[in-house]
Amino acid sequence: NEGMFFIFDYETAQSFWMKNTLISLDIIFVNKENEIVKIHKNTETLSENSYPSGKPAIYVVEVVGGFTEKFGITEGDKIVWRRM
């Protein structure tokens, strides 16, 4: 139930890779309207392949592979951010 949250200065096309990453991830790209624009599921570990957003994104969330499937998270869903 943990992940990494990336906040960029402005919305633009984003791309991530898995170099030096030992576990599979789901990479979630989110636009400024808090809409999920792309999910790459169960990414390949240690890969230098690019995982692009496909559309402009300002936020990226990385969670353990299978997380989005387990919780029914899909492209087009909205994310609500809460301060803890």
Flag whether pLDDT at 66 surpasses 80: yes
Q: How far apart are CA 42 and CA 31, in angstroms?
A: 21
3 state DSSP class of 35: strand
What integer pLDDT is reported at residue 31 of this predicted model?
Answer: 98
Please, what is the average pLDDT of the chain? Answer: 96
Flag whether pLDDT at 1 surpasses 80: no
Q: How sure is the predictor about 81, in pLDDT bands with cuts at 50, 70 and 90?
A: confident
37-56 confidence digits (pLDDT tens): 999 999 999 999 999 999 99
